[in-house]
Amino acid sequence: MPFIPDFAGKLNFYVSAVDELMKQSDDNPTIGLLICKSKDDTVVEWSFRGMNQPIGVAEYQLKEFISEKAVEKPEQTGTVRRSRLGHF
């Protein structure tokens, strides 16, 4: 899901709630991290402007870990293939 400006207010709320309800005096500051499929840096900056909580937004990318050959059926290749994630 792409970053939506509404997320900034929600994340700020949850970071504040954790600080108020759960944080102990010897705890480090609560950090809010939002991980989205995509983001526009300008929209993110404007969304968090004026907030003083330690909050960040990051993008993620899914990578293909198993090659097409690794998922072929054994009867198609004549052997059982192993992938980096284990065996089938």
Q: Give me the tens of pLDDT residue by residue for the chain, a chain 88 residues long.
A: 899 999 999 999 999 999 999 999 999 989 999 999 999 999 999 999 998 889 999 998 887 666 666 666 555 555 544 444 554 4
pLDDT value of position 83: 46
Would you say how long the chain is, in residues? 88
CA 65 to chain centre: 18
pTM of the model: 0.62
pLDDT value of position 65: 66
Strand-pair partners of 36: 59
| 72 DSSP 8-state letter | S
